[in-house]
Amino acid sequence: MPQSNVITFPALAKKFPEFVHGLPKRLKGLRIVSQQTPDTHGGLGMCLEQAAKGHPNTIAVIYENQEYSYREFNQWVNRICDYLRRSGSKKGDVIAVFVENRPELLASIAAIAKLGGVSALVNTSQRGAVLRHSLGLVSPQRVVVGEELMAAALEVSDVLPSAKDSCLYIAEAQSGEKCPDAWIDLVAESKQGNSDNPASTAKSLASEPFCYFYTSGTTGLPKAAILTHGRYMKAYAGVGLASIQLKPSDRAFVTLPFYHGTALVVGWGSVLAGHAGLVMGRQFSASSFWDEVIRSNVTAICYVGELCRYLLAQPESTKDRAHNVRLMFGNGLRPSIWHAFKQRFDIPRVMEFYGSSEGNVGFLNLFNFDCTVGFTTVPYAIVEYDLEEDCPIRYKNGFLKKVRKGQAGLLLGEITDASPFDGYTDPEKTEKTILRNVFKAGDAWFNTGDLMRDQGYRHAQFVDRLGDTFRWKGENVSTTEVENALAAEPSILDAVVYGVEIPETNGRAGMACIRLNDGESFDGKAILEVLRRQLPHYAVPVFIRETNELETTGTHKYKKTDLKQAAYDLALVKDPIWVCLPGEHAYSRLSPELQLKLNAGAFRF
């Protein structure tokens, strides 16, 4: 792609032969997408049943030493669905699922989908107050908890459902642990269930919720975003069938957590669309990644940008190219490592995409350009944005203005009947995410909160995240959640949190600028202990800057732009800066020598 980051017509024309290949599947996928109406029947359950009917003996799921054919996996799902129905669950019930990556997680989600229930997919890193909040948001009729997370669940037992048979337990394979008192062993109870496809599978409508994903909220606590069966089908058909086009002989390796849409909807959805095999990783390991790829004969990789950076940071090995991977699909691959990753690991096709769990606009790199999230067919706009005031620019006529080709701005997705915004469980939070009267009176647009560059020909390049979240270690971090945790420390008067870039890393590391109460001194060990107790590991700030004054706007919002630009550069910042290095148990004072090492990539975050 040209260095200007703009797509040209000659470059696009060269890609058309590649696009024409596989056209029948593309048309089938696009037809499914275009036919989605609120009353259309579909969903994950139907997609699984179709795969089981078409390729019953193909391996559907591989996990460690376990393999399940499509017939076996579908029948297992049916038995769980039958137990849920017989024991009182019904269409529309919310069932919270709190299980780490393993086949039981997928089987539970699919069974709930076939029942017509809604899976609330709780982030397995959540603990304490955040976990209590997430469960309270959706008031589940039942919970499904893995043995590995029972301690965390029992800490918030006051918000777990209390009805008979409402707390379901899934043991680790061959752990030997007994089911806790007052809990139901879901795997054992479902063994004698009916293995036939339930009639309820075909009754799910596109307009009905399939699951809740938890996203970072501006209140400092997660929001429950609604994903409908219709939006699942659009991803299944538009990404899986029309774009990625896996085959039954393919095996896709997914090590991302399945409480995220990238793994569950794009990853597993594309596997189901191709009747292919899913190689499921419990968690990502850079050191053993290619061993598993080779052992399981993986042909496709589902990624996020951080995963690629970790792999690139590993010592070069003969295993780097001793695999059969022909494509990778995911999001967040930075242009700075795009070419290096493709060349080192000999992967010819990168299907980068852009989207969010709740958003109504998505992009996909269908034409295999480098350094782009691709193109989209849905209505969108990239509008001028004032970084200093942290808001889109409205002109004298009251409307916004699109950026020119090659420029960056805020990405908006137009809300229409064909591209609805399903929102969150909280109507107030839904309304806050909508921009109205954008180009004409009465129109409505979903605010993605992301800066994108217009590359022309409906292509875009991801630039940065705006507002109250940033991405670090593959997770979205809420700045307000971190600010609230800092405020709980008695020595801190107030705090502002933002993300800063560290060379040789992906995403943005957390940085807090704090004011201490009079007479207090910075205690790097005590503050780190407080933060680690209250926050997921990825949300703990890497840097803390002490200051005597925090500048605010006229509307009393903290001015973050200057803080972000200065970051941890001691040439620009005279305030003391503290850093928590990998493996350390306290913040230590940042020195010029230490800054040089950070910028040289001497530490692996």
The answer as to whether 12 is a domain residue is: no
Q: Residue 15 — very low, low, confident or very high, per pLDDT cuts 50/70/90? A: confident
Instruction: Count the neighbouring beta carbons within 10 Å of the beta carbon of residue 276.
Output: 26
Question: What gap in Å lies between CA 428 and CA 426, rounded to an integer?
Answer: 6
Tokens of 118: 């809604």
pLDDT band for 423, please (50, 70, 90 cuts): confident
Do 197 and 76 have their domain in common? Answer: yes
Find the helix packing angle between 335-345 and 305-313, rounded to 10°: 60
Q: Looking at the structure, do residues 171 and 300 belong to the same domain, yes or no?
A: yes
8 within a domain of the structure (yes/no): no
As for how many domains the chain has, the answer is: 3
Is residue 217 pLDDT above 70, yes or no? no
Q: What is the mean pLDDT of residues 418-425?
A: 86
**63 and 195 co-located in one domain:** yes
Q: Is the pLDDT of residue 245 over 60?
A: yes
For residues 243-264, average pLDDT:
95
Looking at the DSSP assignment, which residues form a beta bridge with residue 142? Answer: 95
| The last residue of a domain, from among 429, 444, 465 | 465
Average pLDDT of the segment spanning 154-175: 92
CATH code, 557 = 3.30.300.30
**124 and 257 share a domain?**
yes
Residues 492 and 431 placed together within one structural domain of the fold: no
Handedness of CA 484, 485, 490, 495 (dihedral sign): negative
Task: Report pLDDT for 571.
Answer: 95
How would residue 552 be classed by pLDDT, with cut points 50, 70 and 90? Answer: low
How many whole angstroms separate alpha carbon 331 and alpha carbon 420? 22
Confirm whether 604 is domain-assigned. no
Same domain, 509 and 572: yes
In a domain, 342, yes or no: yes
* 167/601: higher pLDDT: 167
Q: At 80, which helix (H) or strand (E)?
A: helix 70-86
4 within a domain of the structure (yes/no)? no
pLDDT by residue (tens digit) across 483-520? 888 977 889 988 999 999 999 888 889 999 999 988 89
- Axis-axis angle for helices 70-86, 44-54 (nearest 10): 140
The last residue of one of the domains, among 358, 389, 408, is 358
State pLDDT tens for residues 289-345.
999 999 999 999 999 887 898 898 899 999 999 999 999 999 888 887 899 999 999
Q: Are residues 461 and 476 in the same domain?
A: no
**Domain hosting residue 288, numbered range:** 36-358
| Within a domain: 97 | yes
Question: Does residue 11 sit within a domain?
Answer: no
Kindly state whether residues 426 and 542 are assigned to the same domain: no
Q: Does residue 307 sit in the same domain as residue 179?
A: yes
Average pLDDT, the chain: 91
Residue 20 lies in a domain: no
Q: Taking the complete model, does pTM exceed 0.75, yes or no?
A: yes
* Average pLDDT of the segment spanning 182-208: 95
Of 149, 85, 78, give the one whose Cα is nearest residue 117: 85
- Shared domain for 168 and 316, answered yes or no, is yes
Domain endpoint, select from 465, 481, 513? 465
72 pLDDT tier (thresholds 50, 70, 90): very high
For residue 554, the model assigns a pLDDT of 45
Same domain (yes/no): 287, 378: no
Indicate which CATH number applies to the domain containing 384: 2.30.38.10
Q: Are residues 88 and 208 in the same domain?
A: yes
Q: Residue 216: which pLDDT band, with cuts at 50, 70 and 90? A: low
Stretch among 380-389, 474-483, 586-595 having the lowest mean pLDDT: 474-483
Kindly report the CATH number assigned to the domain that includes residue 225. 3.40.50.12780
Per-residue buried b or exposed e for 312-324, using 16+ beta carbons within 10 Å of the residue's own CB? beeeeeeeeeebe
Q: What is the pLDDT of residue 218?
A: 43
What is the percent of the chain with per-residue pLDDT over 70, rounded to a whole number? Answer: 97
